[in-house]
Structure 1
Amino acid sequence: MKRQSTAEHYQKRLSVLSDYIYENLEDDLDMDRLAEVALISPYHLHRIYRGIYGNSLTDSIRWIRLHYAADRLIKTDMSIEAIGRMAKYNSVQSFTRVFSEAFGMPPARFRREGDHVQFTQPMRKNEDYPMQEITVKDSEALTLIGFEHHGDYMKVGQQFEKLQGWLATRNLIDPSIRFFGVYFDDPDTVPTDQLRSLACITVANPDEFPMEEGLKRFDIQAGKCAVMRYKGPYANMDAAYRWLFSEWLPNSTERVGNQPAYEEYLNDVHSVPQTELLTDIYIPLE
């Protein structure tokens, strides 16, 4: 039996830790408890996490909590104080400061004026939708390999984190790597616990790729797609999809094809502000 490398050992332990974090975001998540879950000494957990993922454990937890806070601001009428408490901030002032740094505006303004608001406006005939670039083009065939996710699309980042750790510990990350998400179900019609998605990368030579248990392959055929270049927080993207299907598609001459929607992530959530995230949303057409 092939012996597991030290890097692979720690990647598996941090994968367990990631599951725990996503399932317990509203708890305190003190470092001693996290070290206990990961079975890694609290003296070394931060260094090992940064060595594999390239960013700090504290920053990752903060980002995930702010991601959920933005989602609650958009989808609920919860008070800003309550949302801040769920994100583990002791005061509205501290929550507002950190949220503003990440999203470019305070929570109250984000709720009123965030990118999601623009998608509530109907499309005007013979006008391109303002602030959005939508093109119809022939897309390339893709072979994708990654980890499946079942459940809330808001939590698919959990699988991307695992995928990045898996790649890093096997020296498979290089500047040409492209990250994609495939979304098989409509979250407005399919129960949340039954949603299916895939966090993945493109692979040029799949027969030579070191497939392991848990990794899945999915092939996307070349063909015509509607592509939206979306700029902004991932928490706002539900509104973009609704607008595409309720406004853009009926006002176009196009019909959807027989492949699922997919996304390409063009920059890194840990290296740019939320407002600068770039995502290409692909809707396959006939």
Structure 2
Amino acid sequence: MANDYEKRLLRVLDYVYDNLDGDLSLDTLADVAALSRFHFHRVFTAVTGEPVAHFIRRVRLHRAGLELLSSDAPVADVAAKMGYDNARSFSRSFRDAFGRTPSEFRAHAQPVPPLRLGTSGETQMYDVKIEDQPARRLGVIDHRGPYIQIGEAFEKAGSTVMARGLGPHLGAMLGIYFDDPESGAAEDLRSAAGFEMDETAEIAPPLREVRLEGGKHAILTHTGPYTGLAQAYKYLFGEWLATAGEMPREAPPFELYVNTPMNTAPDDLVTLIGVPLL
């Protein structure tokens, strides 16, 4: 991992260790890392091998185990100190992690397993180039929910532009993905599906106009089924970005679909993942 990214993530780890009962939201940790809020969670997960919430939970429970063995503080006090709202949820999480309730753990004086940072393991290599991308004007349909269901938004966008006779004004088909799918509940994920449109085309509801800034981008080429895109993101944020000496902009990644499943076999689908760079 490049030294700059190492320093940024180590700052986050130190902050988590020192603020287990404080604000550990993704926005706060992104600020600590001085990374874009759109990309921080993807970078953290790709490099460490686990989502931020899983890491925080492990650290809290590890610290709680040490606290239980080194003090006689009530379980409720230990739970509060570790950032849990109530002793019941703390006890349930603790039992899931250690196989005993906090009281049983303390009574048996069971050694606390060492805390280890996860590792991302080996990842497949992909072709990534730094390119200047044009500014784009999009007409999109917003989607909220699992990314795997965004096809419905693409179908609605496609039907809308065709019904309005906008075919001659269309360019590439793109998807914008605002959240890391491992950062929270699938039903809360935000994305948008649509088409590049020229300046003469009217964009009216249910379509929404979105402007993507041009300029310097990392462009990863993925060939194959869409189910393999998660691995491509893992490489882009965990391997390439951390070693290329580049920093992402405060803007979400996008996918540009060179072809579609309507006329292309899954193994031949070509998708470009774009990450805006500073």
Higher radius of gyration, 1 or 2 = 2
Mapping 1:49-60, distance limit 5 Å: none
Shift of 1:213: 2.4
Q: Partner residue of 1:195?
A: 189
**Residue 256 (structure 1) aligned with residue 248 (structure 2):** yes
**Residue 204 (structure 1) aligned with residue 204 (structure 2):** no
Contact map agreement 2:143 2:190 (CA 8 A) in 1: yes
Q: Partner residue of 2:133?
A: 139
In structure 1, C-alpha distance between the alignment counterparts of 2:272 and 2:212, rounded to whole Å: 15
CA 1:175–1:215 in structure 2 vs 1: closer, same or farther (change >3 Å)? closer
Matched length: 159
**Residue 170 (structure 1) aligned with residue 168 (structure 2):** no
Shift of 1:177: 2.6
Q: Partner residue of 1:220?
A: 212
Mapping 1:1-286, distance limit 5 Å: 121-122=122-123, 129=125, 132-174=126-168, 177-205=171-199, 208-286=200-278
Q: TM-score, normalised by structure 2?
A: 0.54
Q: Tell me the percent identity.
A: 29
In structure 2, C-alpha distance between the alignment counterparts of 1:136 and 1:259, rounded to whole Å: 16
Instruction: Write the letter of the residue equivalent to 1:192.
Output: A
Question: Where does the alignment leave 5 or more consecutive residues of structure 2 unmatched?
Answer: 1-119
Contact map agreement 1:137 1:227 (CA 8 A) in 2: yes
Contact map agreement 2:157 2:207 (CA 8 A) in 1: no
Contact map agreement 2:154 2:193 (CA 8 A) in 1: yes
Contact map agreement 1:120 1:239 (CA 8 A) in 2: no
Instruction: Write the letter of the residue equivalent to 1:243.
Output: Y
CA 1:252–1:175 in structure 2 vs 1: closer, same or farther (change >3 Å)? same
Question: Where does the alignment leave 5 or more consecutive residues of structure 1 unmatched?
Answer: 1-118, 124-128
In structure 2, C-alpha distance between the alignment counterparts of 1:120 and 1:168, rounded to whole Å: 45
Shift of 1:174: 3.8
Provide the aligned C-alpha RMSD in A. 1.9
Q: TM-score, normalised by structure 1?
A: 0.52
